[in-house]
Amino acid sequence: MIIVIGIGADGMPGLGASSRAELATATVIFGSPRQLDLLDGTVGAQRRTWPSPLLPALDELIRTDGGDVHVVASGDPMLHGIGATLIRRFGADSVRVLPHVSSVTLACARMGWTVQDTEVVSLVTAPVHTAVRRGGRAVVLSRDATGPAALAALLTETGRGESELTVLEQLGGPGERRRAALARDWAAAGADDIDDLNVVAVQYLPDERRYHTLPDDRFLHDGQITKQSIRAVTLAALGPRPGERLWDVGSGSGSIAIEWCRSAPGCTAVAFERSEQRRSRIAANTVAFGVNVEVRGPAPTDFDGAAEPAVIFIGGGITEPGLLDACFERLPAGGRLVANVVTAESEAAVIARYSTLGGQLRRFQHYHGEPIGGFTGFRPAYPVTQWAVSKQ
C-alpha cells in the first residue's frame, strides 16, 4: 500500500492524529526536500528525495522498497498533486490519501471567495499563458517565485492590466504573507522577495467573458478566418469532449483551435499553418485567450512529432496531394474528421470521399444585411460545404 500524507506550511503541528500515526510507523518516506524538511524528530523513518525525472522511476521505487510506502506531499495530494499521479499509475486500491487543507481552500478563505465559484489553474507544469482569462476569478498555483511577475506581465500585455492580483505566500505557516496590487503595477515594479511556495488569487478585469462562438474581431486575422456563424456550426460538427485533442489543419487565425479549447474542460489543440506570419497571429491569439494550442508548420510535413488527435478539422489545403490521406492515416479508430471547403475543386475532393466513406455532407449559405441606398439588402457570403465523418 502507498500512503500519501498531505502536509502544510505549518508542518507537523498542523497534522491530524491519523497522519501523525502513519508517519510514526513509516520506515521510508518519499517527498520533495521542502516537504521532508517539515518533518520533526518524532519521525524516525529514512527520508528519500524524489528523483528527477520522477515518473520513469516510480515503478522501481515502489518495487524495491516493498511493503507500505509512505509519501509526504504539499497540502491536498489530490489537487494537482502526487496523489493523483500515484493513483493513475497504481490504481485507487493501492493508494491511500490522507489530505491536508489545500492551498486553494486556504487562499479562498483569506480572500473571502467561495471555493466552488473559483477556478483553479496550475502553472506547475503548464506555460504561464494558460492562466490568462477574460474575466472571473482564479487561484493560480505558481511553479516558483517567478510565477506572480510572469503572470502580471502577461495579463498586462493582453489587455488585462486592471486585474487584481493577491500573492499569498507560505499559506497556513508561520511565515504567511499577503501582498496585493493591480497586474500592471506588479509588472512594472513587483516584489523581488517572493517565496517559492506561493499562489496568486486573481480577479480578472475587465470582465469580457463570452461562452459562445466569438465575433471575428476578437481574433487577430488577415481575413483568413472561419467566420463566426460558420464557426458555430463547425464546433457543433466537431463535438468537443472533455480532454480531447484537435488537429486544426490550415489553421489561418487559429479561431477553430481556440474555440475548441474554450468549449470543454481539458481540451487542447495543435494548429498547422504554412504561413509564418499567420503562425505568429495564432500564437498571439492563443496567449490572449489562455488556451493550450501548439503551433506547428505546414501539414502534412509537420505531422511527425505532434501528439495524436482525437479529432481533425481541415480548414484549408484539402486539394494538396496526399493531405486528406495523411489526415485519415493519423486519425485513430473512432476519431472524427470535419472539413470545410468553399472552392469547386475542394468540394469535388470532399464529395468523392463522401461517396466512398460516407458521413454527413452539408452546405451552409449565410447572408449579411447591407445598405442599398436608403434601404437594406442581403449580400451572400461564399457557401461552405462541410463533410463530417468518423473513422471506422
The full set of domains in the chain, from first to last, is: 2-101 (3.40.1010.10), 105-203 (3.30.950.10), 216-391 (3.40.50.150)
Q: Which residue has the cell 520522477?
A: 54
Cell of 314: 481541415
- What is the arithmetic mean of pLDDT over 228-245? 96
Q: Which of 47-56, 216-225, 277-286 has the highest mean pLDDT?
A: 277-286
Mean predicted lDDT score pLDDT of the chain:
93
Whether the pLDDT of residue 63 is over 70: the answer is: no
Query: In angstroms, rounded to a whole number, what is the distance separating the alpha carbons of residues 353 and 387?
Result: 9
Express each pLDDT in 92-106 by its tens digit: 998 999 999 999 999
Instruction: Categorize the per-residue pLDDT at 219 as very low, low, confident or very high, splitting at 50, 70 and 90.
Output: very high
Express each pLDDT in 11-33 by its tens digit: 999 999 999 999 998 988 999 99
Express each pLDDT in 108-134 by its tens digit: 999 999 999 999 999 998 999 999 999
Whether the pLDDT of residue 64 is over 70: the answer is: no
Whether the pLDDT of residue 65 is over 80: the answer is: no
Q: What percent of the chain has pLDDT over 70?
A: 99
Residue 365 near residue 383, CB atoms below 8 Å:
yes
Instruction: Categorize the per-residue pLDDT at 333 as very low, low, confident or very high, splitting at 50, 70 and 90.
Output: very high
Query: In angstroms, rounded to a whole number, what is the distance separating the alpha carbons of residues 249 and 270?
Result: 8
Whether the pLDDT of residue 387 is over 70: the answer is: yes
Whether the pLDDT of residue 190 is over 60: the answer is: yes
Instruction: Categorize the per-residue pLDDT at 173 as very low, low, confident or very high, splitting at 50, 70 and 90.
Output: very high
Beta strand extents in 273-359 (DSSP E only): 293-296, 311-314, 336-341
Query: In angstroms, rounded to a whole number, what is the distance separating the alpha carbons of residues 361 and 251?
Result: 21
Q: What is the pTM of this model?
A: 0.84
- What is the arithmetic mean of pLDDT over 281-307? 95
Residue type, 13: P
Whether the pLDDT of residue 66 is over 70: the answer is: no
Whether the pLDDT of residue 164 is over 80: the answer is: yes
Q: What are phi and psi of 352, to 5 degrees?
A: -60, -40
Cell of 199: 499562489
Half-sphere exposure of 365 (CA within 13 A, CB side): 4
Residue type, 256: I
Q: What are phi and psi of 5, to 5 degrees?
A: -115, 120
Query: In angstroms, rounded to a whole number, what is the distance separating the alpha carbons of residues 349 and 363?
Result: 15
* Cis peptide bond upstream of 206, omega within 30: yes
Residue 160 has what pLDDT? Answer: 94
Q: Choose among 254, 247, 248: nearest CA to 225.
A: 254
Whether the pLDDT of residue 140 is over 90: the answer is: yes
Residue 199 near residue 142, CB atoms below 8 Å:
yes
Q: What are phi and psi of 6, to 5 degrees?
A: -80, 140
3-state secondary structure of 379: strand
Query: In angstroms, rounded to a whole number, what is the distance separating the alpha carbons of residues 60 and 51?
Result: 11
Q: What percent of the chain has pLDDT over 90?
A: 85
Query: In angstroms, rounded to a whole number, what is the distance separating the alpha carbons of residues 359 and 389?
Result: 4
